[in-house]
């Protein structure tokens, strides 16, 4: 497997409480499900793809993707989905796995190449973008995760760690900063109002 064709895990394991529950990825945006937008955007950038989701996997059967549940119980956050993706990627013989969020349909089409170029000394990289004031915000559900760190991540999660950047800072993650001409490409959908805003962006 060449390094420009990393596998990818789509993180859809959250509980979507601000959207009223259910799977955000199955909600419609511009006539297509969010998950379909995400697959269309990440697919050309990667090799194999899998979905991190909890509960009955049959609801995603039409996607034809492996469904990876969190290996740590209790909905401990997106790092559990990243860990599931790292374990899956290791079984494929990959050196790293890309993560993307299922509720962020407009992320960059050069995400993976930019993350790969930004890797820190451990091979880890996260995406970031500036706000209107110029402050740079990390988007830690969008990252490149070396599978060699999966045991360390597993131990950290079982030890109570939950905040992604607390762990990535330990490993000197590189940062790929994406500037947006019109809007933040990492705009994510958490509420019905966000979905309305996404509809307006999709219409453009």
How confident is residue 17, by pLDDT bands cut at 50, 70 and 90? very low
Indicate the pTM of the whole model.
0.92
- Asked if residues 75 and 119 have their Cβ atoms less than 8 Å apart, the reply is no
How confident is residue 21, by pLDDT bands cut at 50, 70 and 90? low
Q: Which residue has the tokens 């079982």?
A: 158
The closest alpha carbon to 49, from 37, 62, 63, belongs to 63
Residue extents of the structural domains in the chain: 3-199
The closest alpha carbon to 4, from 108, 84, 110, belongs to 110
State the average pLDDT over residues 63-75.
92
Structure tokens at 188: 């994510």
CA 52/CA 49 separation, integer angstroms: 10
How confident is residue 107, by pLDDT bands cut at 50, 70 and 90? very high
Buried-exposed string 54-72: b where 16+ CB fall within 10 A, e elsewhere: beeeeebeebebebbebeb
Q: Count other C-beta atoms under 10 Å from residue 98's C-beta.
A: 26
- Per-residue pLDDT at 15 exceeds 50: yes
Domain 3-199, CATH class in plain words: alpha beta
CA 142/CA 125 separation, integer angstroms: 9
pLDDT for 122: 97
Give every strand in the sheet of 136-146, ordered side by side. 67-68, 49-52, 8-11, 96-101, 136-146, 125-130, 174-177
Query: pLDDT per residue over 125-153, tens digit each?
Result: 999 999 888 899 999 999 999 999 999 99
pLDDT for 24: 87
pLDDT for 134: 84
Query: pLDDT per residue over 160-181, tens digit each?
Result: 999 999 999 999 999 999 987 7
Q: What percent of the chain has pLDDT over 90?
A: 79
- Asked if residues 162 and 78 have their Cβ atoms less than 8 Å apart, the reply is no
In terms of residues, how long is the chain? 204
């Amino acid at each position: 497997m060449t390094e420009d064709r990393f596998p990818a895990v789509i993180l859809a394991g959250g509980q979507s409480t601000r959207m009223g529950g259910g799977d955000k990825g199955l909600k419609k945006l511009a006539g297509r499900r969010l998950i379909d937008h995400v697959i269309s955007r990440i697919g050309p950038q990667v090799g194999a793809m899998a979905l991190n989701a909890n509960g009955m996997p049959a609801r995603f059967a039409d996607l034809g993707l492996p469904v990876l549940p969190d290996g740590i119980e209790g909905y401990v956050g997106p790092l559990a989905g990243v860990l599931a993706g790292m374990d899956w990627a290791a079984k494929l013989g990959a050196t790293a796995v890309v993560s993307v969020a299922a509720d962020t349909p407009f992320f960059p089409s050069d995400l993976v190449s930019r993350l790969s170029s930004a890797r820190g000394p451990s091979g880890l990289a996260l995406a970031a973008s500036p706000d209107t004031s110029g402050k740079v915000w990390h988007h830690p559900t969008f990252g490149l995760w070396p599978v060699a760190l999966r045991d360390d991540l597993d131990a950290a999660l079982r030890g109570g760690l939950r905040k992604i950047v607390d762990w990535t800072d330990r490993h000197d993650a590189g940062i790929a900063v994406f500037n947006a001409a019109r809007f933040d490409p990492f705009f994510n959908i958490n509420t019905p109002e966000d979905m309305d805003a996404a509809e307006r962006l999709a219409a453009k």
